[in-house]
Amino acid sequence: MPSNSEITTSQLIRLIGLPGSPTIIDVRIDEDTLADPRLLPAAARREALSVANWSKDFAGKSVIVVCQQGRKLGQGVTARLRYEGIRAETLEGGFEAWRAAGGLLIKPDKLPKRDSTGRTIWVTRTRPKVDRIACPWLIRRFIDPNAIFLFVAASEVMSVAEQFNATPFDIEDVFWSHRGERCTFDTMIEELGLSSAPLDRLAMIIRAADTARLDLAPQAAGFLAASLGLSRMFRDDLEQLEAGMLLYDAFYRWCRDASEETHNWPSATKSA
């Protein structure tokens, strides 16, 4: 049974991908990360013995500390963070327990380099509709909660990417883009190792809405309508992105927890 400063893998799995999910800090030693370089979703890498130098970066946040086995490094870092007033817990059993439980693990080799503040920078075309909101949602929830998104004229995407060290997405002839009948959201799930039943179900809805094949998923027509409605409500692309996050959060929870639930009203009443 975990202590009051530990969290189990099953508990953490239920929090991953949700708004307000805890910040995950990976403090594994280099030898362990070389053996398996994958990361828990949205995890930040930090050096365990330097915790006093970086602990202030996580002030006011809820933190989960992950070491290889959930023992001395993880518990030591957790204890130091708690001393600094940070809400911190150790992942019980560490990385090995997470991997054994089949928790999502990100393949980091395809991830863009981070800027001087530790954030990834992405750039795409202005006036997003479906895929260009879906991909930032996926990145913010599973890759980099603090990611920066630049929306620019289509003709300037590649120039901005070069000048500002940003990663282009959802335009032609770049790595993060459509492939055949699959959209950019599909590409990110595949390349980053994020395939799971809820995300694959959501990807089908997004693909159907984004590629005008509404017959692929019964939810696609409503999803497209909501997406187009959002695009008419906001002139500013970043404001639209922030508003759209809630739509994708809701559909993700439906895909994860509620796809079998039905709702009928009014309920049948017994005859007198």
Least confident span in 135-144, 179-188, 262-271:
262-271
Q: Could you give the CA distance from residue 107 to residue 144 in angstroms, rounded to a whole number?
A: 13
Domain of residue 128, residue span = 110-258
- Reading across the β-sheet that carries 23-26, which strands appear in turn? 6-7, 87-91, 62-66, 23-26, 44-45
Indicate whether 263 belongs to any domain.
no
Indicate whether 253 belongs to any domain.
yes
CATH at 24:
3.40.250.10
Q: Are residues 31 and 64 in the same domain?
A: yes
pTM: 0.93
Indicate whether 178 belongs to any domain.
yes
Among the three residues 100, 129, 164, which one is the final residue of a domain in this structure?
100
Q: Are residues 239 and 143 in the same domain?
A: yes
In the predicted model, what is the mean pLDDT of residues 103-110? Answer: 94
Q: Are residues 66 and 152 in the same domain?
A: no
Count of structural domains, the chain? 2
218 prior amide bond cis, ω within 30: no
Q: Are residues 125 and 247 in the same domain?
A: yes
Indicate whether 268 belongs to any domain.
no
DSSP 139-150: HHHHT-TT-EEE
Q: Are residues 25 and 96 in the same domain?
A: yes
Q: Could you give the CA distance from residue 91 to residue 70 in angstroms, rounded to a whole number?
A: 6
Indicate whether 181 belongs to any domain.
yes
- Reading across the β-sheet that carries 121-125, which strands appear in turn? 148-152, 121-125, 167-168
Is the pLDDT confidence value at 272 over 50? no
Q: Could you give the CA distance from residue 226 to residue 141 in angstroms, rounded to a whole number?
A: 20
Q: Are residues 33 and 85 in the same domain?
A: yes
Q: Are residues 153 and 88 in the same domain?
A: no
Q: Are residues 156 and 96 in the same domain?
A: no
pLDDT at 121: 98
Interval 43-90: pLDDT, tens: 999 999 999 999 999 999 999 999 999 999 999 999 999 999 999 999
Q: Are residues 119 and 86 in the same domain?
A: no
Q: Is 109 exposed, middle or buried (0-12, 13-18, 19+ CB in 10 A)?
A: exposed
Indicate whether 272 belongs to any domain.
no
Q: Are residues 58 and 153 in the same domain?
A: no
Share of the chain above pLDDT 70, in %: 97
Among the three residues 68, 100, 132, which one is the final residue of a domain in this structure?
100
Indicate whether 266 belongs to any domain.
no
142 and 42 Cβ atoms separated by less than 8 Å: yes
Q: Are residues 133 and 187 in the same domain?
A: yes
Indicate whether 201 belongs to any domain.
yes
Among the three residues 51, 81, 100, which one is the final residue of a domain in this structure?
100
Q: Are residues 171 and 120 in the same domain?
A: yes
